[in-house]
Structures are given as C-alpha cells and as structure tokens.
Structure 1
Amino acid sequence: MDYHKTFLGYQDSYAGAIMVDGNWYCASMPQMLIDASKRYREGEDADDKNRSLTKSQRAARAQSRLEQWQSDVEARAPYLFSRKELPDAKGRTPWMCPAAGNSPTAACPRKPTNLASGKVPLTIIRRPVEGPAKVCDNKTSTTFPAEAGGKFAQEYQYGSKEWREMYGHGRNSVESFNAYLKDGGTHALEDGSRRRLRGSVAQYFLATMTVVAANLDKIIDFAAQKTEDGDDYEAGIEAPRAKQRKPRRTTALQRVTHNRGRARRNPVRT
C-alpha cells in the first residue's frame, strides 16, 4: 500500500526499533534515509506548483527524483529488520535486528559476535542506539505485538522493486474495478440519477449495495470462465494464441528517402 504524504517517514517505534514507511529498521539509520520518501513526495508537490517548468523539464526532474528515491530505498536495506518466524495466533511476530542471526546485513558494536564472524557486512553501524533496547540486548530476536506498528505495517519494503511490482498490479486492479463500477453499461455508480433517495445514509447504502452487486458479477463471471476453460480443455480445444506484431524491415530514413524518390519520379498532375 501507499501512504498519504503526512504519514511518510517515521511512523512508530518499539523495543528500540523504528518503523519507517511500513517496515521495521534499526534506529541508527541516518535521518537522510528516514526522510527519503517524504523528500521525494515534497519534490513532486513543489514541481506541481511551479508553473515556469516546461514539460521536458518536469519529466527530467521527475526521473531524477525517482532514481534518487530508489537509490535511498536500496541504501535502507542493510538497516532492515528480518522476520524470524511467522506471526502466532495473537499476531505476535519475532523480529531480528540487521546485525543478528546467521546472515546479518550490518555490523554493530552491540552485537560483538557478528563483528568477529569473518563475514563481510553490507554496512557498519558506527553510532548504535544508546541505553537499554530489547532489539539490541537480545541475542537473537524480539517479539513484537500485533498493535506495534499495526496501522502502517506492510509486507514488502516500501519503494523496493518487489513493492513496486505488487503495488502496481494491485492499483491497476483497483482502478479497473472502479471504472467497471462507474461505467454506464454496467452499474453506473457515477450516475447520481440511478440513486434517487435523499440523505447521506441512503446514498451510502445504495453505493454499498452497488459494490456488492459488482463483486458478485465478477465472481460469477470468473466461475463461468473457469468452467468454460475446463470444458474446452476436456474437449481438446486450445486457446487462441496471441499474434506477434512483425517488426518493420526498413528504417525510418529508408522509408522517407523512398517516398521522396517516388514523389520526384511521379509528379502530381494538374
């Protein structure tokens, strides 16, 4: 999931760990990396308000911001906590700090065993958390309750390649369903004349029933398609293969030169 710009960056803390953009990180992560997503979104807002930028300038600045943000997200990875086990029945999850476990991604003075393990860590935490902290003092893992960061937590590291792929797929599905709801040929949710009742409660109720009906239609269509595919498979009918578009055999320069030559040989008659 994505966040409103006011929820980006630092979101919560527990046992010496901090939640940044839905993921648990070492509290020693530099502030520049903590604010990376917030800085990226603020740059977008600033360019939207700047009317003096041309279209090409906006595109170049947007690409530069995106590359910087993705670089900052990769730089966060060594500070990222890892899940030791799946959540239990009450939602409690054991997490390991990046300097703990058999495959640490960081080296920390508060975890001396990993400093002498002979492995080459991705980063060295030179300023560890001061004072008592369970994630630093425990040798292996620390159990986090479900309510710790539960409002913002998500599975994939925010902004990573895995997150972008999953988020893009999910958002496309949502936008496609919204268009299906609003289409006048299906449920016409956008047409207020289809909901002739006064009051916000009545409108919310009708909108909810419309969404329920649309979901049922989608489920019925999916089940019917699965049945049809199964019947076709049993009957030995193969699905049609997508046609591949053939590339041009000539270049743009050759086509322009050829057309010019034809124009000179065959002048237009008047």
Structure 2
Amino acid sequence: MPVRALGYKPVYDYRVDQLGDQGGAQGSILVAGTWYCPSMPEPLIEATSDLHAGRIDRETWVAHIAARKPYRLMPKESKDAEGHQRMMCPAEAGKVQCPLKPRSLGRGVHLPLVDPQPSPTRPLKVCRQRAITLAPEEGAEYWQALDYGDEQWQKIYFRPRNSVEGHANRRKITAWLDSLARGGQRPVRRTNRRRKTKPLGTWTPTGHLTPAT
C-alpha cells in the first residue's frame, strides 16, 4: 500500500503457493493480481499452477494467459483521490456473453459464453450490478498493474531483473577470480566482511547495565 500511495505500480512474480485464485471481492476473483469474472473457466485460473506441475506445456500456458483477457473486470471510471475505482463485469463491458446479463447475449460467436454456477440465492454482487467499487486495500497483497505472464508483463518484469542479476553475477565472478593463484603468485586473500549490524549490547538502555570490559 505505501508503494502504491507513492504512485508506483508493482509488477512481480508469485511463489508456487500464491498461484491461482488469490481471493475475491464482491463476487469477483483475483487471479495472478488481476480482477476477473467469478465464472472464468478453471483451466484459465489454474494455468500457471498447471505449468509448474507439468500438466500443461509452455505453449498451452501462453494460450491460457491470452484467453483470460476477455474475463477481466474493466474500469468504468478512473480511480478517485482515495484510490477507489468503479469496475464493470466483462459482460457489461461487451467482452463476454453471460445469461445473467441478457443484454450481453447475441453479440457474436467471437465472444466467450460465460457459464455461471447455479446459486440457491441471488447472483453475486458483481453479477447482478452493472459495476462495483473496489477499494484500494482489496487484493492489495497480490494486485499488480499488468496482466501476469503476458507479453507486456514479461518485457517489464524480466528487463530490470536480468540487469540486477547480471550485476550480482559479475561481482561473484570477480570475487572468485581474486581467490585464484595467477602467474605463480599466491591467491589474493578475500578481505573479511565488516558486519553492518549492531552488537546486542548496543541496545542496552543507558545506565541500567555496565558495559562488559
């Protein structure tokens, strides 16, 4: 939240135990940091988990990531000063067809047909309203600005990561070379690292204990 309050838009990867459905708000579901229709097909929700488990190959994973796009909730308005935003369900936005939104039907076979689960009560809030308001703290732990795994995400995520890892690798190689014997000379000894942390005694309240001699 502090990062987003400063105007930054996070882009990151997830641990294997953070994949798939990451929670919900007002009936919508958060998958890989993006808000989706609750009736998005299960193979699309579990695409990355299935890739890690070897149940699908990378080509299928890429296809599943692309197939998620029509099911995204779409902004109806820009975020207000407090970070709240009105979001439309994809049927209202004309991205899918849904029997819970009759006016969305018959718009063309190119639009996916949503198959909502039957409910003994009335439909979820996102399904019965034209739009919902998402607060900034909803899904904040996993939300990110780009669609996880798509081409733009990969471009933004991997470029700085590769740069950082490249610098770290060069430092390690230089340190290793310095430890080798070259030209018949003895290896260069690595200097001991100076601790940047404070010893425990520095936290002792002044006047309560006498420092050890």
Regarding TM over 0.5, the answer is yes
- Please state which structure has a larger fraction of its residues in helix: 1
Residues 176 and 27 (structure 1), Cα distance of their counterparts in 2 relative to 1, 3 Å cut: same
Q: Deviations over 1:85-117 (max 9, x none)?
A: 33222221221111013xx1101112122225x
Match in the other structure for 2:197: 201
From 55, 64, 67, give the equivalent of 1:72.
64
2:14 alignment counterpart: 3
Residue 13 of structure 1: aligned partner: 24
Specify the SS of the correspondent of 1:143.
strand
TM-score w.r.t. the length of structure 1 is 0.56
Structure 1: runs of 5 or more not aligned: 45-63, 186-190, 204-270
Identity of aligned residues (%): 35
One of 123, 131, 144 as aligned partner of 2:112 = 123
CA RMSD of aligned residues (A): 2.9
* Superposition pairs of residues 1-270 of structure 1, within 5 angstroms: 1-43=12-54, 65-101=57-93, 104-115=94-105, 118-119=107-108, 121-127=110-116, 130=119, 131-139=122-130, 141-179=131-169, 193=191, 195-197=193-195, 201-202=197-198
* TM-score normalised by structure 2 residue count: 0.70
Larger Rg: 1
Measure the CA separation in 2 of the matches of 1:16 and 1:174: 39
Shift in Å at residue 20 of structure 1?
Answer: 0.7
When residues 83 and 128 of structure 1 are mapped into structure 2, their CA distance, relative to the original with a 3 A threshold, is farther
Counterpart Cα distance in 2 of 1:34 and 1:80:
12
Q: Which moved more, 1:130-139 or 1:75-84?
A: 130-139
Aligned partners of 2:67 and 2:22: how far apart in 1? Answer: 19
For structure 2, the residue ranges without an aligned partner over 5 or more in a row are 1-11, 176-188, 200-213
Please report how far the alpha carbon of residue 148 of structure 1 lies from its aligned counterpart in structure 2 after TM superposition.
0.8
Question: Structure 1 CA distance, aligned partners of 2:115 and 2:170?
Answer: 53
Q: CA deviation at 1:121?
A: 4.9
State the distance in 2 between where 1:194 and 1:83 align. 55
Shift of 1:168: 1.8
Q: C-alpha separation between the residues in 1 aligned to 2:65 and 2:17? A: 19
CA distance in 1, matches of 2:151, 2:165: 21
Instruction: Tell me how far 1:43 sits from its aligned partner.
Output: 2.2
CA contact (8 A) 1:22 1:158 kept: yes
Once the two structures are TM-superposed, the CA of residue 73 in structure 1 deviates from its matched residue by 0.9
The 1:174–1:125 alpha-carbon spacing in structure 2 relative to 1, beyond 3 Å, is same
SS of residue in 2 equivalent to 1:124: coil
Residues of 2 paired with 1:13 and 1:66: CA distance? 27
**Deviation of residue 153 (structure 1)?**
0.6
Taking CA–CA contacts closer than 8 Å with sequence separation of 6 or more, which of the two structures ends up with the larger relative contact order? 2
1:136-165 Cα offsets, whole Å, 9 max, x none, are 1212x2110111111101111111111111
1:40-64 deviations in whole A, cap 9, x for unaligned?
11229xxxxxxxxxxxxxxxxxxx7
